[in-house]
Amino acid sequence: GGNFVFKHALLWAQSVLSLVMHSVVFTDTERDIRVVFHVDVDCFYIQAEILRNKSLRGKPVAVTQFNKGGLVAISYEAKSKGISKGDGVGEHGRAVLSRFQGRPDAAMDRVKQKCPDLIILPMDMSYYREVSRNIYDALCRWHSGEDVCQSSIDDFYLDVTDRVSSSSPSSS
């Protein structure tokens, strides 16, 4: 039944897929059960920067927007020091964005006080698109290019119904 397919899909994914999977989604129609993996690259901009510069691994790192819009990605090491996405927002952003009103701790100088060793890198969208494309290409090679859908720079969906069904003991 469906529960067996679910358990089998998870075991199969753990054994062959070396990407971070945040969820497995099953869509059910009257006549068909589909097995769809949602692949989300955790802390994508940070992971891309570590891919480019291995010395960043294990250090507090953040990626910032060009427009003083604040930090858009935070490493776990920086999060453990109290740094949050959006911190570092400029004065205008703190005045007009309700989330930051009355939060002087969100200013960049306060962020650096909380985490003096924070490495702040500018967004590099052309590089991130290249990394994203490489991930997409790898998923297509792994999955023969069939039923791979990219929904954002770091989110992908793979319909693996045929692979799971063909390797299921009940399909033999």
Tokens found for residue 107: 């200013």
Q: How many CB atoms lie within 10 A of CB 37?
A: 24
Split at pLDDT 50, 70, 90, the class of 116 is: very high
Q: Determine the Cα–Cα distance for residues 61 and 47; give it in Å rounded to an integer.
A: 10
Residue of 102 and 148 predicted with greater confidence: 148
pLDDT at 149 over 60: yes
H helices present in the chain, as ranges = 2-16, 44-52, 76-79, 91-96, 108-114, 125-142, 161-167
The three-class DSSP label of residue 106 is: helix
Helix, strand counts (H, E) of the chain: 7, 7
Q: Which two tokens stand for residue 30?
A: 């009257």
Task: Quote the CA–CA distance of 100 and 93 in Å, as a whole number.
Answer: 7
What average pLDDT does range 127-151 have in this prediction?
Answer: 84
- Average of pLDDT values for 128-144? 86
**pTM, entire model:** 0.72
Asked if the model's pLDDT at residue 107 lies above 60, the reply is yes
pLDDT in tens, 68-88: 678 999 999 999 999 988 887
pLDDT reading at 138 higher than 70: yes
Angle subtended by helix axes 125-142 and 44-52, to nearest 10: 90
Whether 143 contacts 159, CB under 8 Å: no
pLDDT digits (tens, 9 = 90+) for 7-44: 444 444 444 443 444 444 455 554 567 778 888 888 89
Give the residue, 76 or 92, on which the prediction is more confident: 76
Phi and psi at 67, nearest 5°, equal: -100, 25
Phi, psi of 24 (to 5 degrees): -115, 125
More confident residue, 115 or 171: 115
CA atoms of 33 and 131, how far apart (whole Å):
32
Residue whose C-alpha is closest to residue 24's, from 145, 32, 34:
34
Where residue 65 falls among pLDDT bands split at 50, 70, 90?
Answer: confident
